[in-house]
Amino acid sequence: MNPSSDPGHGHSPAAWIAVTVMLLALSVAGIAFFLGVWWLVIAGGVGVLVGWALGFVLAALGWGVKGPKFQPKEHA
C-alpha cells in the first residue's frame, strides 16, 4: 500500500490520548451510574467531551496522523 494514501487509522499520539481519556471517563461514569453518584456520572460525561476536544487540540498542534511531530512506524 502506498504510504501517502494510508489514512493512518488513528495510530497517532493525539488519537491514543483522546481515546484513553474518553475510555477512563466513560468507565468512571458507568460505575458511578450503578452506584447512583449522579455528580460523578455528569463529571464522566464532561470528561468524555474533554477527551474528544483534546484529540482535536493535539491534532492541531501537530500530533495527529498528518502532523509534523508524528512519525509513523513502518509496518512489516
pLDDT in tens, 4-57: 555 556 688 899 999 999 999 999 999 999 999 999 999 999 999 999 999 999
Whether 42 is covered by a domain: the verdict is yes
Whether 70 is covered by a domain: the verdict is no
Domain carrying residue 35: 13-63
Whether 40 is covered by a domain: the verdict is yes
- Cβ atoms of residues 28 and 47 within 8 Å: yes
- How many structural domains compose the chain? 1
Give the whole-angstrom CA distance, residue 46 versus residue 63: 23
Q: What is the pTM of this model?
A: 0.79
Whether 3 is covered by a domain: the verdict is no
Give the whole-angstrom CA distance, residue 64 versus residue 58: 7
The runs of H, that is alpha helices, within 1-76 are 13-35, 38-58
Whether 75 is covered by a domain: the verdict is no
Whether 1 is covered by a domain: the verdict is no
